[in-house]
Amino acid sequence: MSLTALNSTHDPQLRSWLASANAADADFPIQNLPFGVFRRRGSSEPFRGGVAIGDAIVDLGAAAPLFAGLAAEAAAAAARPALNALMALGAPAASALRAALSEALRQGAPQQAALERCLAAQAQAEYAVPAQVGDYTDFYASIHHATAVGRLMRPDQPLLPNYKWIPVGYHGRSSSIVVSGQGIRRPCGQTLPQGMAEPVFGPSRRLDYELELGLFVGQGNALGTPVPMAQAESHLFGVCLLNDWSARDIQGWEYQPLGPFLAKNFATTVSPWIVSFEALAPFRLPFLRPAADPQPLPYLDSAENRAAGAIDIRLEVLLESAAMRSRGEAPWRLSTSSYRHSYWTAAQLLAHHTVNGCNLRPGDLLGSGTQSGPAPEEAGCLLELTQAGRKPVALGGGETRSFLQDGDRVILRGWCEKPGAVRIGFGEAAGEVLPALAAAT
């Protein structure tokens, strides 16, 4: 199935019988319907699959008897504590469930009374990571981020020779992936302070965030069987927000010769809701490379990817300091960007990951890499935004930041909007920096 084609679920005239879904600035209108797992806050209930609509959640286990065929099978699979079983059914099953929900949530739908009994309030829910993540790979897909960081480290050659030819990535740590709202403990490790000949051990003093998207794998592939570009997106379940927390001073000492390790594996935050590629269809754009750049090798190229491989997902980073919270002030916007600037598309990341026969499994997670735009104010991390700490950014109330301080709450948000389509959102991925453990200092 094509994930770029429009269908009745995208109709901008659709309205839901749930009034909160019809607000102009709603993240979760009827045209979105993202998947997640939830339970009532403070309860001992098992987590279970749900779909966001307005300010509510459709409990998919409770709603499953309302559907038939593939939609009912998908709803039953989604009723478990993680979405892996739904992901394994593939794009047609998720699409069938999304279509059935769209029909049942529309104004005048005969299922309204029955489905109302399957709703839970988002304000009274708590969330878990939507899937059991077996493996996590983080890419480096923004040429603007790669160039800006490269200038800080290698002014004469910001981009390494392979960057424009190959989607660069590294294997991360799935066990430390957490859902939005969980505190992030400041990591400890070895660093080499400027001017010193020997490293020291202690809490990171250059803690940073990275504005990324997460791509959840749906149906996997058998070991030894690459996924061609024409099928790559059908193996992806959907998109979330992702913060790849990074300790830059630990990273600077350890990253050569084998790349990221302790500087990255202490925490990765994802948003609770996964937006399907089908919901993103109205916001597709052509994928274009500058004429002077190498064009993708054949295994990373397809007519559909050239026609609609890019997606205009707007992104922003906000910071709320402890002082701002105490004064009741709104978070301070640090930067904005868009996924449309990515040098590699989601399909290319998956096709490259499997071209050597690597097998991906339902629920595996791919990070897009920091999504910076071409302008300085579109930087996706403090390392870029502050020029490695040399130019602190100003916050409201007279505060400044070179890197994150204890008590800082970082909030990532994302949304899509354009004339002729209903705005859809991703919610947020947020985490507060907690002090390093005293026992580790």
Catalytic residue positions?
145
Q: How many CB atoms lie within 10 A of CB 416?
A: 24
For the record, the structure tokens of 164 come out as 């424009």
The alpha-helical segments, DSSP class H, found in 261-391 are 303-308, 322-327, 346-354, 382-385
Give kind and range of the element (H or E) at residue 290: none
| 269 phi, psi to nearest 5 deg | -100, 135
**CA dist 178 → 99, 123, 277 (Å):** 30, 19, 22
**CA dist 255 → 194, 233, 264, 277, 438 (Å):** 16, 31, 10, 34, 26
Q: Give the C-alpha separation, 335 to 328, whole Å.
A: 21
For the record, the structure tokens of 185 come out as 């403990």
Whether 290 and 296 have beta carbons less than 8 Å apart is answered as: no
For the record, the structure tokens of 188 come out as 């400890």
For the record, the structure tokens of 323 come out as 């002082």
* Residue matched to tokens 């906000």: 318
- Is 101 buried (19+), middle (13-18) or exposed (0-12) by CB count in 10 A? buried
Handedness of CA 392, 337, 412, 269 (dihedral sign): negative
Q: Give the C-alpha separation, 48 to 32, whole Å.
A: 19
For the record, the structure tokens of 199 come out as 């490293």
Whether 378 and 307 have beta carbons less than 8 Å apart is answered as: no
